[in-house]
Chain A
Amino acid sequence: DAKTTQPPSMDCAEGRAANLPCNHSTISGNEYVYWYRQIHSQGPQYIIHGLKNNETNEMASLIITEDRKSSTLILPHATLRDTAVYYCTHNAGNMLTFGGGTRLMVKP
């Protein structure tokens, strides 16, 4: 099974960059790293994914280390609406396994 480690909680000031780390030491060479977030009890929302190159989209940037055992999700200008639980995961077979995630609190 996919195993990821994330800090349980983080705070960020509104307008500042939020950098969320994740360790995924069991990742295999052909597995993508995925990031999702969940606001209240809504369905998890896809943010971004990558294989080994850094990726950027309209929501966030993803930095993956060269050995692929860890990654960082960057929200460049956090807003109050970014307050959520953020999950990193990767495919193990046909499954995504979600750990506890990081609860990000964006404060005014």
Chain B
Amino acid sequence: DAGITQSPRHKVTETGTPVTLRCHQTENHRYMYWYRQDPGHGLRLIHYSYGVKDTDKGEVSDGYSVSRSKTEDFLLTLESATSSQTSVYFCAIRGEPGLSTDTQYFGPGTRLTVL
């Protein structure tokens, strides 16, 4: 399995509180991604990063921010959590684009419940 971990694995929080999820990789890949998965919607991209301090929005970025201060860590922050952000969050890393190793590998996920 690719060296990718997520923490915490489970979290319950209250509406209005800030939450930070962490993704950590040991593969030294440039690209890292945050997805959310909800019933009926499949996997949807929130934000991604293509290098330290280089990030871009995905299709469902509202209410989320990210930071990448070092290659191995990609943080997802919910500044003020809402019940609509209850979801399973997956991080992914990607081999160098354009090469035959250009593949995304996913972490185990974080189940977030906002009450």
Contact A98 B43, CB 8 Å, known A41-B88, A41-B111, A44-B90: yes
Q: How far is the CA of A41 from the CA of B50 in the complex (A)?
A: 27
Number of interchain pairs (Cβ within 8 Å): 47
Interface status of A34 (Cβ within 8 A of chain B): yes
Q: How far is the CA of A49 from the CA of B90 in the complex (A)?
A: 20
The residue that B106 contacts in the complex, of A1, A44, A97, with Cβ under 8 A, is A44
B103 to chain A, nearest CB (A): 6
Interface string of B100-115 (1 = CB under 8 A from A): 0011111111010000
**Pairwise interchain contact A46-B88, C-beta atoms closer than 8 A:** no
A7 to chain B, nearest CB (A): 15
Q: How far is the CA of A99 from the CA of B37 in the complex (A)?
A: 11
Q: How far is the CA of A76 from the CA of B102 in the complex (A)?
A: 25
Q: How far is the CA of A49 from the CA of B94 in the complex (A)?
A: 13
Interface status of A45 (Cβ within 8 A of chain B): yes
**Pairwise interchain contact A94-B106, C-beta atoms closer than 8 A:** no
Q: How far is the CA of A100 from the CA of B107 in the complex (A)?
A: 20
A73 to chain B, nearest CB (A): 15
Q: How far is the CA of A95 from the CA of B92 in the complex (A)?
A: 11
Interface status of B74 (Cβ within 8 A of chain A): no
Interface status of B45 (Cβ within 8 A of chain A): yes
Contact A91 B42, CB 8 Å, known A42-B109, A43-B109: no
| Closest residue of B by beta carbon distance from A43 | B106
Interface status of B56 (Cβ within 8 A of chain A): yes
**Pairwise interchain contact B48-A95, C-beta atoms closer than 8 A:** yes
Contact A45 B106, CB 8 Å, known A94-B97, A100-B42, A101-B42: yes
6 A-B residue pairings within 8 Å (CB atoms)? A41-B88, A43-B108, A44-B43, A91-B97, A94-B56, A98-B44
The 3 residue pairs across chains A and B that have the minimum distance between CB atoms: A43-B106, A98-B43, A44-B106
